[in-house]
Structure 1
Amino acid sequence: MSVFADLVQRLADLLAPLFGATAAAAAIVLFTALVRLLVHPLSRAAARGQKARAELQPKIAELRKRHGKNPERLQRAIVELHTKEKVSPLAGCLPGLFQLPAFFLLYHLFSNTTIGGHANELLSHELFAAPLGDRWADALGAGGALGPAGLVYLALFLLVAAVAVFNYRRTKRMMAANPVAPVADGQAVPGMGAMGAMTKVMPFMSFLTLFTVAVVPLAAALYVVTSTTWSAIERAALYR
């Protein structure tokens, strides 16, 4: 943890001439960008996998028609198809999974008052009027939703909401372009009810970021906001 704290502090020192008192916040944004650059090859692979899975949908629809009444056989057939075509259904999860350590490091770094037995000096840094170690509840208690710190969170919420709406619309378009066949031989395919429910929920998943930003330390919230915005731009470019 102390090594990571030293890294953030060094980045903040480098950026101080440009960003002044908000250098630590800028360092977190830069750190997030570096992490996203590192996982970009995985994001490109995930995009290729998504396109490959979309191309498999007609074949999967045929399998559902053929084995719709036998869920176990259908599942085996779908797995065999993915194996044959060398398409991993989990490839899209890898970019997010590889980012989790960075997020949790920031979360713990700005949640602890001491690091290595010494006071955590990073907690003294702010993004304008909002301390990087505080949460939205602290901002509300300090000056209300429209107080100095509250306005910082309001700006973050607006940005996250805009990105969420963008992702919502893009996800709806992608799902409309690649619908999942709901029936087989005139009968409902077993398991399709749960899949249909998930399909309805997926476009709204981006809005959960608003909750995350509200409850984690501001430093971790900055990571989430930066990464989410990066993802929206990246996916728009890769999934054209």
Structure 2
Amino acid sequence: MDIYSFPPIAAILDAAYTGLMQLAALLEPLTGGAAAAASVLLVTLLVRAVLVPAGVSQAKAEQTRSRLAPKLRALQKRHGRDRERLQRETMKLYSDERTSPFAGCLPLLAQAPVIAVVYALFAYPTIAGHANGLLAEQLIGVPLGTSLVGAIASGTATAATFAVFGCLIAVIVIAAEITRRAFRPPAAVDADASPLAGPGMLRTMGALQFSTAVVALFVPLAAALYLATTVVWTLVQRMILRRRYPLATP
């Protein structure tokens, strides 16, 4: 069953769609034929702005984890052979610090439904039983419902198709590379350091940064525009928050 066909969710999605199309109509005098694409960009920015508090919570949680990491390693060395004692001491440490191992997870889960609804606006051909008119609009002659892989497979890809998708994918790849370099987890300082800092995990996490670029090859242009805007916003937001909430130096 398609979750977006569930009546309450379909109603929310349809209301969001109506607002999106009204926004496109308002932008048309300023942006002309690119009004629909401009509305995608603007809605994405507005949604990311609303979700800033969730990003702040995650940044604070990441800072707390980095501060507690040496204490957790010390507990592992001291009680590593007594798993029950280690668990008690670990939970006591979190309690004394007034935090938990899951700090930052709740804001991440809370924003998931919002992101799912917004993404569906830009990717689903049908909304609440009617056609998604947004995907019939164009950007530089390329329909917002066109995917790069689909256009190539059907033989309908044009120079404009390659140019538009090429620019968006380049933006995503550049943002991913900057993210990979700027937010690489610190190297392990001893044998008991977190496995997240191991060489294999570092390579895997680095590769995952580029998965969005692969996804952008297959989704409609509207969704690809959303993805490119999101990764750039996320990069800038993380850089600002990292300065505001720096990690503890190993």
The alignment-based identity, stated in percent, is 37
Rounded to whole Å, the distance in 2 between the matches of 1:28 and 1:71 is 51
Does residue 138 in structure 1 map to residue 150 in structure 2? yes
Unaligned stretches of 5+ residues in structure 2: 1-12, 244-250
Q: Deviations over 1:118-174 (max 9, x none)?
A: 443222112223221221212324455x721121111111101100110010122x4
Residue of structure 1 aligned with 2:54, choices 16, 25, 42: 42
Q: Deviations over 1:33-73 (max 9, x none)?
A: 11111111121121122111111111011012112334554
Shift of 1:79: 3.6
Does residue 90 in structure 1 map to residue 102 in structure 2? yes
Rounded to whole Å, the distance in 2 between the matches of 1:103 and 1:134 is 21
Q: 1:180 to 1:133 in 2, by over 3 A?
A: farther
Amino acid at match of 2:204: V
Pairwise CA RMSD: 2.6
Unaligned stretches of 5+ residues in structure 1: 184-188
The residue that corresponds to 1:124 in the other structure is 136
Q: Deviations over 1:75-124 (max 9, x none)?
A: 45334322331234434445554443344334434454444444432221
Does residue 214 in structure 1 map to residue 217 in structure 2? yes
Rounded to whole Å, the distance in 1 between the matches of 2:71 and 2:189 is 11
Q: TM-score, normalised by structure 2?
A: 0.79
Rounded to whole Å, the distance in 2 between the matches of 1:147 and 1:236 is 35
Determine helix, strand or coil for the equivalent of 2:145. Answer: coil
The residue that corresponds to 1:203 in the other structure is 206
Rounded to whole Å, the distance in 1 between the matches of 2:74 and 2:41 is 46
The residue that corresponds to 2:78 in the other structure is 66
Does residue 10 in structure 1 map to residue 53 in structure 2? no
Rounded to whole Å, the distance in 2 between the matches of 1:127 and 1:91 is 41
Shift of 1:202: 2.1
Residue of structure 2 aligned with 1:24, choices 26, 29, 36: 36
